[in-house]
Amino acid sequence: MKKILFLGIILTALVSVSASAQEANGSNLRHRHEMRAQHGQITRFERRRLHHDQFRYHMARRRALRDGFIGRHEHRRLAWMRRHDHREAFRFHHNNRRRVI
C-alpha cells in the first residue's frame, strides 16, 4: 500500500513539473510581450515583429526535429535565432519609443 501511494505521489509531482516547464516556454514569453505593449513600452509594430520572430523560431525548431534529432549545425542556427530574438526584444524595450495611444 505504501509503495503504491509513494509511486502515485512521485508520478503526480513529475507530471506537474513537466507541465509547468512546458507552460513557461511559450506562453510566458507571449504574455510578457503583451504586457509590455499594454504599458506602452513597445509599439504595435515591435510586438508584431517579436511574434513573427517567435513563430519563425518555432517553425525552424520543428523543421530541425523532423528527422528525430537536432544536429550540430541545426543547434547552432537555433541558438543564433534565440540570441537574436532576445537582443531584439531588449532593443525594442529600451529604445525610448512609446505607443501613441
Structural domain contains residue 19: yes
Please report the pLDDT score of residue 49 as a whole number: 92
Structural domain contains residue 99: no
Structural domain contains residue 101: no
pTM, two decimal places = 0.60
Structural domain contains residue 98: no
Q: Which domain holds residue 39?
A: 2-93
Number of domains comprising the chain: 1
Structural domain contains residue 79: yes
Total Cβ atoms within 10 A of residue 93: 15
DSSP secondary structure, 53-78, as one string: HHHHHHHHHHHHGGGSS--HHHHHHH
Please report the pLDDT score of residue 3 as a whole number: 76
- The mean pLDDT of 4-18, rounded to a whole number, is 76
Would you place residue 78 in the very low, low, confident or very high pLDDT band (cuts 50, 70, 90)? very high
Structural domain contains residue 63: yes
Structural domain contains residue 100: no
| pLDDT tens profile 46-55 | 889 999 999 9
